[in-house]
Amino acid sequence: MLRRVLPPPPALTVRRPPWRRRVRILLWRARVPFAAVTLGLAAAVAVGQLRPEPPATVDVLVAAHDVPAGTVLTDADVRTAAVPPDTAVAGARAAGHASVVGQRTAVPLPAGLPLVPGVLTGGRLTGPPGTVVAAVRLADGAVAALLQPGDRVDVLAASAQAGPGSAVARGALVLPAPAAQDHGSGLLGGSGEASASAPLMLAVQPEEAAALAGAAGTADLSAVVVP
C-alpha cells in the first residue's frame, strides 16, 4: 500500500523590525569615531596622571602699583600675590589687607614689592631694618620743608672750628614726620615758622646717630640730596 508523502512545510521567515536594522547600521558606521574618542579620553587621563603637581605657594601682601613714600595705604594700594615659599621675602606680611591699610609708607614702593618690616611706619616712626631714627634740625629750615619722604640725603656739619662741612651721615632716608599725619602740606606739616622749626626725621646707622647728636650742639647741619 502506497503512502502519500507530504512535502515539508515552508520555512518561516522571521522579519526583524526596520528600526533594529537601522540601529545596527548606525553602530557599524560609528565604530571608527567611537574608537577615536575612546583613545583620546584614555590619552588625556594618562597625561593628567603623569603631569606633576602644581608647585606650593604662599600668599604675601605686595604693592598693587607704584606707591610714593609718605602715602597712607588704602585697600586699592595693596594686593595679595602667590609666590613659591623659597622666594618669599623673610618677614613678608601674609595677613589680610586690613593689617596694612591706614599705615604710611616710609620708602617708595614699586609695584609688586612685598610689604616687609621697615617699608611702613605704622603709628610710630621706624626705618629699614638695621637703622635708627634721628631727629635733625637743619640750619636752613626751608630746605627741610622741601624734602620729601623717601629722599636720601647726606648730612653735613660745618662750624667755625671745623671749617667747611664734613659728612656725619650718608644716604640717610627721610621719613614722614608725625606732624605730616595731621596736616596737609609739606613733609613736616603746617606752614610758615612752625614748619621751618620742626626737626627732620632721618633713618640712619646707629653710629651716625651718635655723630649727629654730637654735631647738633657745635655745628650747623645741612642736607644734600643724593641718589
Instruction: Look at residue 191 in the predicted model and tell me its pLDDT.
Output: 40
DSSP 133: E
Report yes or no on 174 lying in a domain.
yes
**Boundary-marking domain end, from 123, 142, 170:** 123
The CATH code of the domain that includes 101 is 3.90.1210.10
Residue range of the domain that includes 201: 132-226
Of 119, 130, 223, give the one whose Cα is nearest residue 169: 223
Angle at 130 between CA 126 and CA 136, to 5 degrees: 55
Q: How many structural domains does the chain have?
A: 2
Residue 151 — pLDDT band, cuts 50, 70, 90? Answer: confident
Helical H segments across the chain, by residue range:
18-29, 31-50, 141-146, 192-197, 206-216
Per-residue three-class SS string for 145-196: HHCCCCCEEEEEEEECCCEEEEEEEEEEEECCCHHHHCCCCCCCCCCHHHHH
Chain mean pLDDT for the chain:
75
Of 102, 123, 144, the residue that ends a domain is: 123
Q: Are residues 139 and 208 in the same domain?
A: yes
% the chain with pLDDT above 70: 69
Q: Which residue is listed with cell 620743608?
A: 145
Tell me which of 182 and 224 has the higher pLDDT.
224
137-159 mean pLDDT = 86
What is the average per-residue pLDDT within 36-54? 73
Cβ(191)–Cβ(185) below 8 Å? yes
Phi, psi (deg, nearest 5) at residue 207? -70, -30
Model confidence at 196: pLDDT above 50 = no
139: left (phi over 0), alpha (psi -120 to 50) or beta: alpha
pLDDT at res. 11: 57
Model confidence at 25, pLDDT cuts 50, 70, 90, reads: confident
**Confidence band (pLDDT; 50, 70, 90) for 164?**
low
Cell 608647585 belongs to residue? 55
For residues 21 and 16, the model is more confident at: 21
